[in-house]
Structure 1
Amino acid sequence: MKQVYSQISSVAPKPFVKWAGGKRQLIPILNENLSKSFGTYFEPFLGGGALLFHILTERKGQKCSISDLNSDLVLTYTTIRDRIDELISSLKNHEKNYHKDSKSYYYSVRESNPRSEIEKTSRLLFMNRTCFNGLYRVNSKGKFNVPLGRYTNPNIVNEKNLRSVSSILQSSKVAIKCRDFESVLRDAKKGDLVYFDPPYQPVSDTANFTSYTNKNFTYEDLNRLADLCLKLDSRGCNVLLSNSDSKEVADVFSGKSWKIKKIHANRSINSNSKKRTGHFELLIKNY
């Protein structure tokens, strides 16, 4: 079994969920903007973890502390790490039932509220693979509310990548927590790198999408984040932050500690494909 496992997990790990604001397409730019050396890597808005997987692949033995306020997402990371065989078995069951009657099965799973960690995790991954546009969104009651997507043959199990992710999380020094972003201040010390990729500030009245949890990321939260970044800066931490190309963001990071760079980025999950291109966002750092 170990031989099969090592062959399957030899592919480079990549994000196992499609997440609004995911950073896979920006990895080359983010990599150029990492500090040359750092202690522990912190990522308090984890999401799909594109930069985390890049760092773990490129820097063997890198110590990381990752967290998110979405408890279902955090559970998914720990389940993939600790119980991969059971999870894959559950996903294969979803796949089999989906192909019998995709519509009725999708909505029955969407309405379900499983208790076990395995079933909760496989439900999230199944919904993410089969829902409209791969969009993770919950309403104010925390209920997943995205309709069925139009897919001929979605890759529901994606076993090679899941085993690769499990393998690298098991073999690395990665602490995974469910907590608010401010908690990073308790642990980060001089020389550490903290990457913030929060839900973006809207650039227009209709562009407000912050529903990864049932709590919106507000302008007050942005100011709380800016204050935290200043505290980390005064402690000697390397701080890197992604956000939208908006006046609010530029204003709260207008102090002398911050270097702001405008970068080109596409939007991978806008429902209108013509609106996915031609966007800019800001990359802000203190080093």
Structure 2
Amino acid sequence: MLTQIKSPCAPRPFLKWAGGKTQLLQQYQDLLPKRFENYYEPFLGGGAVFFNLYATTNPPVTSFLMDINLELINVYRCVRDDVQSLIDHLEIHRVNHAKEYYYEIRGQQACPDVWFENGNNLERAARFIYLNKTCFNGLYRENSKGHFNVPMGSYKNPPILDPDLLNAASASLQNASIEAQSFEVIAEHATTAKDFVYFDPPYFPISDTSKFTSYSRGSFNMEDQIRLRDTFATLAKRRVKVMLSNSDCPFIRDLYQDFKIHTIQASRHINSKASKRGKITEVLVTSY
């Protein structure tokens, strides 16, 4: 294990992420299980729930963090394994940030079909974080060819590099397994009441303008939502503690009618029309 630099700040998400749960954690707190040992998060994203659990007085014994996005998983691995080198790469981006530079770097960031070759993982991770901090709304989106295609945002002083935050995240990730996997593999690992699984999938669209399904080259459609419900039910039968967030709509409420459904107050920040941003409700489903 690498020697970690102590950070003066508590661990929290180091990426901007559409649908991130930082603003909802206070509402989640009383709904989290009181006792568990192993934590599983298959739709990792910004990792707000993981970092929140780690910062509590009784963090998980082990954590298994997963996502299908290879770029994202590479970033988390680099933060865990070699955060100082990552910081050095980010300093280069911080110094050179400008409009032409942004689009030059964006053109280099095409998501691979296979795992990265050794040697460029840190460069890819630094590019990912740089683009995340400087693109429009921190939105991650790929086109059909797997190319990151979000335009540059209008920020006067984007927080491209925060060493304290990255060091805090690195420390919290030291005992975490970080893998590029589909959510369905959870059924092979979470088997007892000592396990806690949190699902935060791409939300089921409740309007034409909310159909954001380009998180990766594939989309997360109705059939995928049903497969996820089936996985949720399989885990629940084993007495695994399972929690899932999703849209508040008849389809999702019907899917999870056999479980406890809690209503959460949230805010919609990403919409092409400002008039359609604002307060909405979401659901938080629990098996316990």
CA RMSD of aligned residues (A): 1.8
Q: Secondary structure at the match of 2:242?
A: strand
In structure 2, the residue matched to 1:131 is 135
- Deviations 1:84-103, CA, capped at 9 Å, x for gaps: 111111110011111xxx11
Mapped partners of 2:59, 2:281: distance in 1: 32
Q: Equivalent residue for 1:17?
A: 15
Match among 53, 56, 59 for residue 54 of structure 2: 56
Is 1:206 equivalent to 2:209 in the alignment?
yes
Which residue type is aligned with residue 5 of structure 1?
I
- Which SS does the other structure have where 2:173 is aligned? helix
Q: Deviations over 1:99-142 (max 9, x none)?
A: xxx11100000111486001100010000011111111111111
1:68 is matched with which residue? 67
Question: Secondary structure of the residue that 1:152 maps to in structure 2?
Answer: coil
- State the partner residue of 1:275: 276
Tell me which residue corresponds to 1:194.
197
Structure 1 residue 62 displacement after superposition: 2.9
Q: Secondary structure at the match of 2:214?
A: coil
Match of 2:219 in 1: 216
In structure 1, distance between residues paired with 2:272 and 2:164: 28
User: What are the equivalent positions in structure 2 for 1:206-285 lying under 5 Å apart?
Assistant: 206-255=209-258, 258-285=259-286
Query: Which letter maps to 2:202?
Result: P
Match of residue 180 from structure 2:
178
Asked if 2 retains the 8 angstrom alpha-carbon contact of 1:134 and 1:269, the reply is no
d(CA) in 1 for partners of 2:109, 2:219: 23
- CA displacement at 1:164 relative to structure 2: 0.9
Q: Distance in 1 between matches of 2:50 and 2:69?
A: 17
**Identity between Structure 1 and Structure 2 (%):** 43
Determine the C-alpha separation between the residues in 2 that align with 1:274 and 1:23: 22
For each residue in 1:48-88, what CA deviation from the matched residue of structure 2 results, as whole angstroms up to 9, or x when unmatched?
00000010111245321110110110110000011111111
Separation in 1 of the partners of 2:265 and 2:218?
A: 28
The whole-number CA distance in structure 1 between the counterparts of 2:4 and 2:168 is: 12
Q: Which residue, 31, 39, 55 being the options, matches 2:37?
A: 39
Gaps of 5+ in 1: none
Shift of 1:270: 3.6
1:224 deviates by 0.2
Question: Residue 5 of structure 1 corresponds to which residue in structure 2?
Answer: 5
C-alpha contact (below 8 Å) 1:133/1:271 kept by paired residues: no
How big is the shift at 1:210?
Answer: 2.1
Match of 1:103 in 2: 99
- Supply the distance in 2 between the matched residues of 1:207 and 1:81 (Cα, whole angstroms): 33
Letter in 1 for 2:88: S
Give the match's secondary structure for 2:43.
coil
- Counterpart mapping for 1:147-158 below 5 A: 147-158=151-162
- Aligned-pair distance for 1:271? 4.9
CA distance in 2, matches of 1:265, 1:113: 32
Partner SS for 1:243: strand
Any stretches of 5+ residues in structure 2 without a counterpart?
Answer: 111-116
Deviation of 1:274 (Å): 4.6
The alpha carbon displacement at 1:272 in A equals: 4.6
One-letter amino acid of the structure 2 residue matched with residue 75 of structure 1: N
Change (3 A) 1:197 1:113: closer
| Residues 5, 39 of structure 1: alpha-carbon distance in 2 compared, 3 angstrom cutoff | closer
Aligned residues: 277
CA distance in 1, matches of 2:83, 2:4: 14
TM-score by length of 2: 0.92
Q: In the alignment, which residue of structure 2 is the partner of 1:159?
A: 163
Structure 1 runs (4+) deviating above 2 angstroms are 3-6, 59-62, 267-276
